[in-house]
Amino acid sequence: MAESGRGRERVELIARTAVRVIAREGLRGLTHRAVDRAAGLPDGSTSYHARTRARLLEITLEHMAAEEQQALTAFFADAPPTRTEAARLLAEFVHTSVHTSAERTLARFELALEASRRPELRRIYDRAGARFRDTAEATLRGLGSPAPERHTRSLIAWCEGMVLDSVAGAGTAAPPTLDDLHTGAAELLNALLPPLPQ
């Protein structure tokens, strides 16, 4: 049965709160009661909308996937960008993931690991990832990449590597600035793409 408007709002609140709980306490700390308390909801509210822990994980990942899609659409709204614009957009996207949205990013990595063990989460996670991959491939193709599929993998590896190192790796002590990321993104694109005409 479809959720009413009020029910959808409650599910959104539960999902947003679950993201915060996962980021702070990891998946071990994600319980229905923990979400109720963190959201300021009466006991039993989360379990009413997500009967099982598996369902709680699903609605949380679905919520994150929708947010990621909105962010991606906003960043690449003016596609196809020039090479200079693409470097700026990539830098801003990674910078936001590391600084502004670090909580959501941490939760996403936690859920990525969980998805490797749960096929039902894997499907949701892979659908969300495919959107970013498709956008990146279309951008690289538009910029003249001679091997857009292969170059997309390199581009995503750079983005994900920078983000993971900055929010959970040794790079957390000194995460990259926007200028650092802009320089790195420009260098990567110049390495992948044909030389610009003189």
pLDDT tens digits, 147-182: 999 999 999 999 999 999 999 999 999 999 999 999
Residue 70: per-residue pLDDT: 79
Q: Which of 6-20, 75-89, 106-120, 141-155 has the lowest mean pLDDT?
A: 75-89
Which amino acid is residue 157, in one-letter code? A
Q: Is the pLDDT of residue 68 over 90?
A: no
Q: Is the pLDDT of residue 2 over 70?
A: no
Q: Which of 118, 195, 119, 188 is nearest to 155 (CA)?
A: 188
Q: What is each CA distance from 10 to 4, 57, 117, in whole angstroms?
A: 10, 15, 28
d(CA 192, CA 177): 23
Mean of the pLDDT values across residues 64-73? 80
What pLDDT digit, counting tens, does each position of 16-27 carry?
999 999 999 999
Instruction: Report pTM.
Output: 0.86
- Token couple for 146: 């001679």
